[in-house]
Amino acid sequence: MGLIIFLVILAALILYAISIYNNLVNSRNRVGNAFSQIDVQLTRRYDLIPNLVEAVKGYMGHERFTPYAAMLEKHPERVIEKAVYGMLPKTALGRQSLRRKLRVFANANHTHAAQQPKVLDLKKKSETK
């Protein structure tokens, strides 16, 4: 009788150990599947990056380009400012001191008569080209 009880308890322990092992294998498979799903999503996002970059480049190009005629009508002083800024060095000197000292006026009304500034008519020059 004692041998039968011992065998039953031993069989129950073996079944319990097998159950625990199966649960561990199942959990390991679920973790592996979850990591593979993450890899799939990251690969999908990585594949979409060139499309995003092209879309942003197109939008940036649209924003950066302002037609010369439209700029001349709205803000004629910006034409000269942008031309001068493009020629300035891209250093701290160019960004800070030289940019702040440039003064361009859209018309003949200004406060710098002592320097005797000259009027530059950009509309007349653009029509001749």
Question: In the numeric block, which tokens belong to residue 73?
Answer: 């009508």
99-114 pLDDT, tens digit each: 677 777 777 777 766 6
Q: What burial letters (b/e) apply to 70-79, b meaning 16+ CB within 10 Å?
A: eeeeeebeeb
CA–CA distance, 77 with 52 (Å, rounded to integer): 35
Q: Is 77 left (phi over 0), alpha (psi -120 to 50) or beta?
A: alpha
- What's the predicted TM-score (pTM) here? 0.39
14-51 pLDDT, tens digit each: 999 999 999 999 999 999 998 888 888 888 877 877 77
How do the domains of the chain map onto residue ranges? Answer: 12-65, 66-107
What angle (nearest 5°) sits at the alpha carbon of residue 114, between those of residues 110 and 117?
Answer: 60
